Each structure stands twice: as C-alpha cells, then as structure tokens.
Amino acid sequence: MKLWKVLAAVSAMGLAPAISVEAATFVNFNSQSGSGFATYTESGATLASAGGGTFEFALTPNGTVGVLGSGIPHPLLRADIAGGASEVSVDLGDFNADQDGLLLRAFSSMDVLLTTATLATLSADETMHTLSVTAPNIAYVIFGSQAPSLDGSSVFADNFAFTQSDSITPMPEPATMTLLGLGFGGMGAHRWRQRRPLS
C-alpha cells in the first residue's frame, strides 16, 4: 500500500481535530389549534405556561399560528428542552395595542438564570421580533413580555428554535492503528522484494 493511501485511510477514519456537531431544531406550531393546553411537546421541546395555567394556539402578526398564554394577565411561557441547548431563539410580537417589553430568559437545570435577551417595542409595532440567547447547557427558557405590557405577557410567540451542540474529539481506534501498521509493514515488504536479487 502506498503511503498516500495509508494517510488517506487514516484521515478518513477520523484522526482529525475536535469537531463540533450541531443539530438545530425548529418548531413553528403551524398545524396546531385550540386552547386550554397545559403542555405541548414537539421535537424535544415541551411548552407550558410559566407558573401554571394554560396557553392557546392563535394567529400571530406573522400570519401563521403561534402561542399565547391564556387569561388576564397573560402568563409568560416556558419551554423545557430535552438534552439541553446551547442556543435558543423565539419570535415574539404583538398587534397594535400597547408597548411591550419582550424578554427571553435562559436557565440551567439548577434554575440559575444564565442570560437574558430583551427588546422594547412601541405601541404601533405590528411585527414579530426574534430574540436569541446563547449559553452552555440551557435547560429551559421563559419568554413573553413584561411591563410596560398591559395585561401581563400580552404577546404572541412563534418559531421556537434551539441548537444542541456536542463537542467530539475523535480518538485513534485500535483498527486505525492496525491499518497504519499494516500500511507501513506492507511498504517495507514491497521494498524488501524490490531489493531482493532475482533468482
């Protein structure tokens, strides 16, 4: 076996630097409808009304179905992510009614606040806004709006997305080392045969 073939084989078997494998998940709620939900789970994300209560699926300012905490005041929403996440984003928005203090808070599994994203919107704002947070090991997020919003978290949520990141450091496997040994051994034998006088 030629040296370049050995190197190509070893390279193909993963003797590479540590790589990051990211899996992005996206939930758009478009096939949902109705109200009175305590929880809703899709693609590893479990949605609930933060602090109890229920939520409903409703048409959002982006023209598709999203989520709204039910009742007055509207409760914030919470989403637990199975396996955790390193990045979470959600679209939040309101119709032309009041100013809103949009928020997205990320927590660890020990209920420690990791990071918060906020955005203040004007009363005339009729669009959805994407809030994103990045932190290692996000177990769940709480999102919606706070004062000056009227009636609690009076905003819709949609397009919930999260990224799970796993760092993988490939180690040379025994089979790889065996192949490497066979490769160099084969080259040695080839040279020995070339040097041997013809009989």
Least distance between Ca ion and beta carbon 53 (Å): 17
Residue nearer to Ca ion on the CB measure, 61 or 84? 61
Residue nearer to Ca ion on the CB measure, 15 or 65? 65
> What is the per-residue burial (b if ≥16 Cβ within 10 Å, else e) of 19-51?
eeeeeebebbbeebeeeebeebeeebbebbbbe
Counting beta carbons within 10 angstroms of the beta carbon of residue 141, is it exposed (0 to 12), middle (13 to 18) or buried (19 or more)?
buried
Residue nearer to Ca ion on the CB measure, 49 or 149? 149
Residue nearer to Ca ion on the CB measure, 43 or 178? 43
- Cα-Cα-Cα-Cα torsion 85, 87, 93, 99, nearest 10 degrees, comes to 110
Least distance between Ca ion and beta carbon 150 (Å): 6
Which residues here bind Ca ion, judged by CB under 5 A? Answer: 28-30, 64-66, 94, 98, 100, 149, 154, 158
Least distance between Ca ion and beta carbon 128 (Å): 9
Question: Are residues 69 and 114 in contact, defined by beta-carbon separation less than 8 angstroms?
Answer: no
Which residues lie below 8 Å from residue 154, measured CB to CB, with a gap of 6+?
Answer: 73, 74, 94, 97, 98, 100, 145
Residue nearer to Ca ion on the CB measure, 69 or 183? 69
Least distance between Ca ion and beta carbon 93 (Å): 9
Least distance between Ca ion and beta carbon 33 (Å): 11
Residue nearer to Ca ion on the CB measure, 56 or 94? 94
Helix 174-195 × helix 3-12 angle, to 10°: 170
Residue 73: asked if its preceding bond is cis (omega within 30°), the reply is: yes
Least distance between Ca ion and beta carbon 29 (Å): 5
3-state secondary structure of 47: strand
